[in-house]
Structure 1
Amino acid sequence: MSVDADVLLAGPRGRRLCLEYALACASRAETTESRAAANTIWWAAGAFETNGTTIVLRSRGDRTRYDPPTASPADAAAALDVIELDAPTPATLRDALAASVQAAMYWQEPDGRDLLCATDDVRAALRRVAAFLSGSPLAGWWSDGVAEGDQWAVPWDGAGRASPDVAMDLRGWHERTLADNALAVRERPDDPAAPWSGPWWSIPPTSLVRTTRGLAGDGPAGLWFVEDSFGEDAASATPVDVYPARVVEIDGPEDWARLCAQHPLDVTASRRQDWYRVTGLDRRWIIPDWVAVAAEADAVHLSVAGYLSTATRLVEVDGGGASVLAGWNPDETFWFRGTSARPAGAQRWRRENDVWERVAD
């Protein structure tokens, strides 16, 4: 399958991927024009920073007053138009996607680049990049469902070993989620802008087996695409055999909204302040009740296209609620049942200079 350009422009993560790809092309070009374009975009994004970012300007020794340049979204859009785009490779697409994932935040306001990408001028300029990337066969798998014959878990995903009692884990998650929300009702103000934070994610229990496909010689996708990463630089990737009867596929905001509407769990009080910072809106917040989902499915899979078009944005849910897909990683599958790890096939990986490489056995 192919990914559509409109999908890449639909959500903050898709737009950010397009911007990061263009900036990487400008960096590789190393021409005066490309450096000037990148600088314009940098200054335009800086004007949107709201999280206390400090820009340090160093003098070269004279006492001449330095007035920092200013750049508008229109200037950034014009700069994007002059950047020559390199033909995609697995590495350049991987790195742009990884950069977008690493910039995802749910506990504070979007950063300057995300806000810049949301402006009409820059969004229009990014269409050229989105069309260019969506036309590459190398991005075709971004809309694919779970790759049943090629699934891998990494250490922070439970090493691929199923819990001895998934039903108990799900019940425990449900009880903790309700307790967190009840505590927030008692202790937190109703003001969405109040300086409170708490659980901001909407993923199934982390005790479940989580897998992603392999990226050929790059190892599992789960090594590269991690929201809110702790910066691990070593991993043991475990192959996992899967036997699903039904996988719920999330390939866009409509799928996420449908899942929330079919199995709603109200978490308004516990998510109110964090998701207000992300979306700028105060709503009745809903996440899927994973106990109910697990009763009907073996697994739930988020495609790359689903991630790029859905994460870090408000998703309207039938019935007057809304939701945020938060804490997920691209191509990630959570398994309720139907997995078997193959520890004998485990591989060791190490990251150096932001690149994962397999360690010889």
Structure 2
Amino acid sequence: MYWQPPHDLDAALGSGEWRTRLQDTAEAIAASPVTSWWTSPIDLDDQHLVQFLDGDSPQWEHKPTLTGLRTAVDGLSLEHSGELYGSGTADGPAAGKWLDGTWWSAADMAAGGVAVDWKMVSGAWWSAPITRPGVSTARSIGQPPLPTGLVFVEDSFGWTSATSWQVSATREVRVLELGAPEDWMNLVRRYPLEVTATTKRGDWWRTTGRDGSWAMPDWPLVAEDWDAVHLSVAGYLTTAGRALPVDEGTATVLAGWPPDATFWLADVLRVAGGPTPWRRDTDTNVWSRA
């Protein structure tokens, strides 16, 4: 997870005999024909948007908002550089932290005489172009087809109901492919946004153990050249959660981006099918049509 140190189990599995065993297993899985699609680019003919439901009614329908995406993306530079959180510095980023079960903003802490320590604050730990409104889609797999967005979830809230919609592009689209760590590093190098003086410094330090300058893509600039960005499963497995070098003193982390997910930066989509209701069996953790 991108906002806390690795668990003891994570550390144990990443070293010694267990690391060797997992490496052998990973190589066998990667060589299997079943996972050959993990390196494939976006499938524009098979894209599904998943809406998770807070209630217990899989029949609930809410047609997705597919417009206003570029306008929402244009606000991401301010959001991730910290300006929307208030003023912050490399030694005291703004936003806030949890204290005794209550979220304190930077202003609250200052007013209450609480010292702001960048190692303690937490906030927008993700570097994916997550917006409101926003659209992320992925393909379906298996028979009967199951949208991978149902099971490839970075930060699950334990949903048991969902609705999916098939979407398609209204015109030819420019899709940037992320299939390896180098693709993400090159994206940040081409469209850099400095985020050291934000809550990402504390969050990414906790999860990677690295302290120093941090950067991520400046998504409004990316959106000038690309309509969407797709992260393959292989790209996710080799890139997500790692402190990757951008230059001699700066690193980046790909965070909050599920495998095979495509984030859309322009208003180029339409609903092509659906809605399809889904229900998750809490005993088996398997999704099926409701």
User: Normalization by structure 2: what TM-score?
Assistant: 0.80
Deviation at 1:266, TM superposition (A): 0.6
1:167 aligns to 2:70 (yes or no): yes
Q: With CA pairs under 8 Å and 6+ residues apart, which has the higher RCO, 1 or 2? A: 2
Query: Any idea what the Cα deviations from partners look like across 1:155-205, whole Å, max 9, x if unmatched?
Result: 159965312x3332122222222314763328448965x321111000113
* 1:148-167 aligned within 5 A: 148-155=44-51, 160-163=64-67, 165-167=68-70
Which residue of 183, 192, 201 corresponds with 1:255?
A: 183
Deviation at 1:237, TM superposition (A): 0.4
1:358 aligns to 2:262 (yes or no): no
Contact persistence 2:92–2:117 (CA under 8 A): no
Q: Which moved more, 1:241-250 or 1:326-335?
A: 241-250
* 1:124-139 aligned within 5 A: 124-139=20-35
1:310 aligns to 2:239 (yes or no): yes
Deviation at 1:138, TM superposition (A): 0.6
Aligned to 2:259: 330
Contact persistence 1:160–1:239 (CA under 8 A): no
Contact persistence 1:169–1:205 (CA under 8 A): no
Contact persistence 1:261–1:319 (CA under 8 A): no
Answer with 1 or 2: which has the greater Rg: 1
User: What code does the residue aligned with 2:121 have?
Assistant: W
SS in 1 for 2:288: strand
1:121 aligns to 2:17 (yes or no): yes
User: What code does the residue aligned with 1:215 have?
Assistant: I
User: What code does the residue aligned with 1:117 have?
Assistant: L
Cα RMSD between the aligned structures?
2.2
Aligned to 1:341: 271
User: What code does the residue aligned with 2:150 have?
Assistant: L
SS in 1 for 2:158: coil
Q: 1:213 to 1:322 in 2, by over 3 A?
A: same
Q: 1:326 to 1:177 in 2, by over 3 A?
A: same
SS in 1 for 2:168: strand
Greater strand proportion: 2
Greater helix proportion: 1
Q: What is the distance in 1 between the residues matched to 2:167 and 2:206?
A: 37
Contact persistence 2:48–2:137 (CA under 8 A): yes
Which residue of 153, 162, 176 corresponds with 1:235?
A: 162
Q: Which moved more, 1:199-208 or 1:111-120?
A: 111-120
Q: 1:262 to 1:319 in 2, by over 3 A?
A: farther
Contact persistence 1:214–1:220 (CA under 8 A): yes
Q: What is the distance in 1 between the residues matched to 2:85 and 2:201?
A: 10
SS in 2 for 1:346: strand
SS in 1 for 2:245: strand
Q: 1:278 to 1:159 in 2, by over 3 A?
A: farther
User: What code does the residue aligned with 1:210 have?
Assistant: S
Aligned to 1:112: 8
Which residue of 122, 135, 148 corresponds with 1:221?
A: 148
Q: What is the distance in 2 between the residues matched to 1:259 and 1:190?
A: 32
Deviation at 1:218, TM superposition (A): 5.0
- Extract structure 1 runs of 4+ deviating beyond 6 A: none
Query: Any idea what the Cα deviations from partners look like across 1:29-56, whole Å, max 9, x if unmatched?
Result: xxxxxxxxxxxxxxxxxxxxxxxxxxxx
Q: What is the distance in 2 between the residues matched to 1:218 and 1:355?
A: 13
Q: 1:190 to 1:319 in 2, by over 3 A?
A: farther
1:203 aligns to 2:128 (yes or no): yes
Deviation at 1:296, TM superposition (A): 0.3
Query: Any idea what the Cα deviations from partners look like across 1:107-137, whole Å, max 9, x if unmatched?
Result: 1011223212321433222232122112211
1:280 aligns to 2:206 (yes or no): no
Contact persistence 1:257–1:316 (CA under 8 A): yes
The size of the alignment, in residue pairs, is 252
Contact persistence 1:160–1:210 (CA under 8 A): no
User: Normalization by structure 1: what TM-score?
Assistant: 0.65
Deviation at 1:244, TM superposition (A): 4.2
Q: What is the distance in 2 between the residues matched to 1:264 and 1:201?
A: 15
User: What code does the residue aligned with 1:133 have?
Assistant: I
User: What code does the residue aligned with 1:340 have?
Assistant: R
Q: Percent identity?
A: 40
Q: What is the distance in 1 between the residues matched to 2:219 and 2:271?
A: 23
Aligned to 2:192: 264
Query: Any idea what the Cα deviations from partners look like across 1:225-251, whole Å, max 9, x if unmatched?
Result: 101111111111000012443211111
